[in-house]
Amino acid sequence: MSSVATEAPPASGRAVVASVRNVTKLYRLGGEDVHALAGVSIDFHQGDFVAIMGSSGSGKSTLLNLLGCLDRPTTGQYLLGGNDVATLDDESLSRVRGRYLGFVFQSYNLIQQLSVVENIAVPLAYQRPPNPDGHALCLRLAKLVGLSGRLGHRPNQLSGGQQQRVAIARALVNNPHVILADEPTGNLDTATSIEIMDLLDALNNAGRTIVMVTHEPDIAARAKTVISLRDGKIESITHNDR
Amino acid sequence: MNFIQQLRLGFRSLLLHKLRSALAVLGILIGVTAVIWLVALGEGVSYQAQQQIKNLGATSIIVRTIKPTEEANRESGSRSGISYGLLRDDYDRLLVNVPTITKAMPMREISREVRNGEFAIDSSLVGCTPEYFDINRLAIERGRALSAADMEYLDNVAVLAYEVAEKLFPIEDPLGRAVQIGEEFYVVIGVAEQRTASAAIGGSLAARQYDKDVYIPLSTFRARIGDQVITVRGGTFQNETIELNQITAVVDDMNSVDSSADIIRDLLARYHKSLDYAVVVPKELLEQAETMRTMFNVLLLLIAGISLLVGGIGIMNIMLATVTERTREIGIRRALGATKGEIVQQFLWETVVLSGTGGLLGVAVGFLCGPTVTIVRETISELFPEVWSNLPPNIRDLEPLIAPWSIVAAFGISVGVGIVFGIYPARRAANMDPIEALRHE
Ligand SMILES: Nc1ncnc2c1ncn2[C@@H]1O[C@H](COP(=O)(O)OP(=O)(O)OP(=O)(O)O)[C@@H](O)[C@H]1O
Ligand SMILES: [Mg+2]
């Protein structure tokens, strides 16, 4: 695996889908300031597959939460779908998440009382206007992630890898601009991790933009770009030569 | 999400904890059932009372003789006995002085044994005028009622109450036969239809049981029995003189009832030294009964409100537990695009499903009120016939009346309770920080 460090984004011809400008995140704990993010600027292009790495406490999750509109930066801009979402109110942020973003979590985060197909459909409940072909779409996505035979199963009847596939299908159902994944293989064994990465790869090859946090270098190696964080700052951006 | 989906989701989530949800539902169910049953029983009682009062006549004014207190007796009484109550003169005075009275009917009443050979019954011998049957809505089943001619010729004729006829003439037809009262014989000219008791009204008018009555013309009563009643009480003879036991006056219009009653009261007060009479106005009683009913219903709603409040607290308790348990789900839904409002909605739907289910089941059980009362009645009358026959007729004949408003109110309040008590847990769910919620174990 060869990697080349470079400052300029390689595919500048592709559209920018998300862009953070000088964002900082300040946590104040008992009078002490913690700069979880200390000025981060980065553009994500259509079709990017970015892995964010860094030591524990370097600000990876904080950055991903900002990208996911689950949190607002203390200062700075975040352009998503052409709007600055850094200053939106809670309700608008919810709408932005529902419209532009898909989430994959380390611990799958499926809703236990719902079946596979119902879990995939959860984001559709919050679409405005509602998607009239929602059910057919869910079936197609279940097939895409190889779970057509398990539509009625509950999460606790599935293996970890299968649950993560459901989560990925769910992340696709609103046709998001960016898929955000926080350690998607963190709870999986090596073989299953590879399966999941193959699936993400396939999605990326089909044009999906993916931003993923990971600890594991061999997982990061499957991304096109690796961003290293250190103390809330970007330490390096590496483009994998795949 | 549409209405149906919301409902389904609510049910699904609640089915996660069947017992817990069932208990919360039970709390509401009991509250709603209590409202419907209590109101139905209350309405049944008040309907009964109103019917009984209406039977007395809304345009009538009843003046009854009552025995004065002991002290008053000592004053007015003499060695030969006491004399009290309404006088025949009172009757004439009423007719002359109260122009609104269209009909007035004097009545005399006494306990007497009536016999037909070996069959005997302790009856209430009523001396009355032909109007009596009309005013008391007493229908004749066989034969005829008393007539003006019977009055005029002091005939020894009698109309028997249904039960008296049954007792004295178990086999033969009583019409044309004679019954013996004291030394005298009376020809039975009619048998009255069965009739339920009229209202018991305070102390002034006891419930009138019509089933032991024997009716004879008032004039005959006076001639054969007279005004004096001699009773043996504690070894001494008591000699009472009563001219009339009751005068029922019927006025021309509902609106003149109150003023006529006032005139009657004044008139009687002028001629009676002691209070040996009482004026009863059924219309006033009706109004009182109506007020009582309203007060009763308010009281019931209060009780119901408290029981539903308790149910609501149960629901809130459960929803708070649910929200804590499902913190993760809330975080997931928030991440996937749910607004705070949508989370509030989701949990409110759950509480409404809980309380609404309780409400619907409560209404269903509420409708079982009638059958339940019937079953209880049959059980008691079969297992404890003595207890049963000692119960007052008001209770024996009680039919619960389910009030439509109570169903609407009970169901509405239960759903309202669900919403009110659901808001706090739902808001608590919605206000969670999505990041924190997602991290929740
Ligand atoms: N809610 C918070 N309140 C206070 N400080 C926080 C909060 N969240 C994160 N931090 C701090 O911000 C810094 C960055 O945290 P972050 O969770 O982004 O690290 P990370 O890179 O994801 O680490 P890990 O690899 O362990 O998940 C840490 O020093 C952390 O203590
Ligand atoms: Mg982290």
B236 Cα–ligand 1 center, Å: 106
Same domain, B116 and B89: yes
Question: Would an 8 Å CB–CB cutoff place B322 in contact with chain A?
Answer: no
Task: Flag whether A193 is in a domain.
Answer: yes
Tokens coding A49: 């597959």
pLDDT tens across B282-321, in order?
888 778 878 888 888 888 878 877 888 888 898 999 999 9
- Give pLDDT tens digits for B76-98: 555 557 888 888 899 999 889 88
Q: Which of B234, B250, B275 is the last residue of a domain?
A: B275
- Chain A partners within 8 Å of B333 (Cβ): 111, 122, 126
The neighbour count for residue B436, using CB atoms within 10 Å, is: 10
pLDDT per position as a tens digit, B158-182:
999 988 999 899 988 999 999 999 8
Domain count for chain A: 1
Pocket test for ligand 1, best of A62, A65, A233 (most atoms within 8 A of CB): A62
In the block, residue with structure tokens 């149910």: B311
- The residues near B196 (Cβ < 8 Å, ≥ 6 apart) are B52, B210, B393, B397
In Å, how far is B355's CA from the nearest CA of chain A?
Answer: 21
The CATH number for A163's domain is: 3.40.50.300
**Which residue lies with its CA nearest to atom 24 of ligand 1?**
A56
- Residue B203 pLDDT exceeds 60: no
Is B359 domain-assigned?
yes
Closest C-alpha to B142, from B77, B182, B192, B208: B192
Cβ–Cβ < 8 Å for A169, A122: no
As a whole number of Å, the CA-based R_g of chain A is: 18
Residues B13 and B73 in one domain: no
One domain, residues B134 and B264: yes
Q: At which of B275, B309, B339 does a domain end?
A: B275
Closest Cα of chain B to A103: distance in Å? 7
* Ligand sitting nearest the alpha carbon of A228: 1
* Residue B125 covered by a domain: yes
Structural domain including A148 reads: 46-72+87-239
β pairing state of B101-116 and B213-217: unpaired
The pLDDT, as a whole number, for residue B198 is: 60
Cα of A212 to ligand 2 centre, how many Å? Answer: 11
- DSSP symbols for B8-64: HHHHHHHHTTHHHHHHHHHHHHHHHHHHHHHHHHHHHHHHHHHHHHHHH-TTEEEEE
* Per-residue CA distances from B266 to A121, A190, B30, B399 (Å): 85, 108, 53, 40
Q: Are residues B250 and B314 in the same domain?
A: no
Could you give the CA distance from residue B84 to residue B338 in angstroms, rounded to a whole number?
86
Over the stretch B122-138, which tens digit does the pLDDT of each residue have? 999 999 999 888 877 78
Distance CA B40, CA B269 (A): 42
Say yes or no: B304 and B434 in one domain: yes
The most distant pair of C-alpha atoms in chain B lies apart, rounded to whole Å, by 105
Pocket of ligand 1 (CB under 6 A): A 27, 29, 34, 36, 54, 56-62
Residue A56: HSE in the Cβ half-sphere, 13 Å Cα cutoff = 0
Is residue B59 one of the residues assigned to a domain? no
Q: How many CB pairs under 8 A join A and B?
A: 65
Co-location of B117 and B226 in the same domain: yes
Last residue of a domain, one of B275, B306, B332: B275
| pLDDT at A171 (0 to 100) | 96
- The answer to whether A65 contacts chain B (CB < 8 Å) is yes
Interface contact B223, partner A, CB < 8 A: no
Q: pTM (2 decimals)?
A: 0.73
CA B264, B270, B272, B276 torsion-angle sign: positive
Q: Which ligand 1 atom is nearest residue B435's CA? A: 1
Decide: B179 and B158 in contact? Cβ < 8 Å.
yes
Selecting from B5, B337, B435 the residue whose C-beta is nearest the C-beta of A126 gives B337
Is B36 contained in some domain? Answer: yes
A61, A94, A183: best to mutate for the B interface, most B CBs within 10 A: A94
Tell me the CA distances in angstroms from B402 to B34, B40, B42, B297, B375, one per residue in order: 12, 4, 9, 13, 17
Dihedral, CA atoms, A165, A167, A169, A171, nearest 10 degrees? -140
Write out chain A's pLDDT in tens, 242 residues. Answer: 334 333 334 445 688 999 999 999 999 888 888 999 999 999 999 999 999 999 999 999 999 999 999 999 999 999 997 789 888 999 999 999 999 999 999 999 999 989 999 999 999 999 988 888 999 999 999 999 999 999 999 999 999 999 999 999 999 999 999 999 999 999 999 999 999 999 999 999 999 999 999 999 999 999 999 999 999 999 999 998 76
Q: Which residue of B has its CA nearest to A71?
A: B435
Distance, in Å, from the CA atom of B431 to the CA atom of A91, rounded to the nearest integer, reads: 12
Mutate to test the pocket of ligand 1, among A23, A28, A60, A64 (most ligand atoms within 8 A of CB): A60
* A70:B328 CB<8 A: no
**Considering only CA atoms, which residue is closest to atom 8 of ligand 1?**
A62
Decide if B32 contacts B366 (C-beta within 8 A): yes
Tell me whether residue A4 is in a domain: no
Whether residue B57 lies inside any domain: the answer is: no
Torsion of the alpha carbons at B141, B142, B143 and B146, rounded to the nearest 10: -30
Assess whether B20 and B46 both reside in one domain: yes
Of A35, A40, A55, A61, the residue with max ligand 1 atoms within 8 A of its CB, to mutate for a pocket test, comes to A61
Cβ contact A116:A151 at 8 Å? yes
Task: Kindly report, residue by residue over A216-228, the tens digit of the pLDDT.
Answer: 999 999 999 999 9
Q: Which atom of ligand 1 is nearest to the CA of A59?
A: 18
- The pLDDT value given to residue A9: 43
Asked whether residue B209 falls in the same domain as residue B104, the answer is: yes
Residues B133 and B35 in one domain: no
Pair (B109, B248) in one structural domain: yes
Q: Is B439 on the interface with A (CB under 8 A)?
A: no
Looking at the fold, whether B396 and B417 belong to one and the same domain comes out as yes
Q: How far is the CA of A59 from the centre of ligand 2 (A)?
A: 7
Q: Would you call A237 an interface residue with chain B, using a CB distance cutoff of 8 Å? A: no
Collect all residues of chain A within an 8 Å Cβ-Cβ radius of residue B340. 90-91, 94
Question: How is residue A200 annotated by DSSP?
Answer: H
- All residues of chain A having their beta carbon less than 8 Å from the beta carbon of residue B14 are none
Please check whether residue A114 touches B, CB under 8 A: yes
Helix (H) or strand (E) holding A199: helix A190-205
What does the pLDDT look like over A93-134, one tens digit per residue? 999 999 999 999 999 999 998 999 999 999 999 998 888 899
CA A197 from centroid of its chain's CA atoms = 13
- For residue A178, what are the contacts with CB-CB under 8 A and spacing of at least 6? A17, A18, A44, A67, A80, A100, A101, A102, A209, A210, A211
Question: In this structure, is residue A7 part of a structural domain?
Answer: no
Cα–Cα–Cα angle for A177, A179, A185, nearest 5°?
170
Distance of alpha carbon B361 from alpha carbon B411, whole angstroms: 10
Are B13 and A113 inside 8 Å of each other by CB?
yes
For residues B440 and B328, give the distance between their C-alpha atoms in angstroms, rounded to a whole number. 6
- The backbone torsions φ and ψ at residue B101, rounded to the nearest 5 degrees and listed phi first, read -75, 125
Which one of B328, B329, B338 has the shortest CB-CB distance to A94? B338
A213, A69 in Cβ contact below 8 A?
no
- Give A149→chain B minimum CA distance, Å: 23
Domain-embedded: residue B19: yes
Q: How many domains does chain B have?
A: 2
Letter string b/e over residues B353-369, b meaning 16 or more CB atoms within 10 A of that residue's CB = bbbbbbbbbbbebbeeb
The whole-angstrom separation of Cα B80 and Cα B230 is 10
Phi/psi region, residue A81 (left: phi>0; alpha: psi -120 to 50; beta: rest), is: left
CB spacing of A70 vs B332 below 8 angstroms: no
Residue B62 belongs to a domain: no
Q: Alpha-carbon distance B105 to B61, whole Å?
A: 11
B434 preceded by cis ω (within 30°)?
no
CA distance linking residue B433 with residue B255, whole number of Å: 70
Domain residue limits at B401 = 3-52+288-439
Regarding whether B175 and B292 lie in a shared domain, the answer is no
User: Is A10 inside a domain boundary?
Assistant: no
Torsion (CA) A171, A172, A174, A177 in degrees, nearest 10: 90
| pLDDT on residue A66 | 95
SS3 assignment for A120-186: HHHHHHHCCCCCCCHHHHHHHHHHHCCCHHHCCCCHHHCCHHHHHHHHHHHHHCCCCCEEEEECCCC
The answer to whether residue B16 neighbours chain A at the CB level (below 8 Å) is yes
Of A23, A34, A105, the residue with max ligand 1 atoms within 8 A of its CB, to mutate for a pocket test, comes to A34
Looking at ligand 1, which residue's alpha carbon is closest to its atom 29?
A57
* Distance in angstroms (rounded) separating the CA atoms of residues B133 and B191: 12
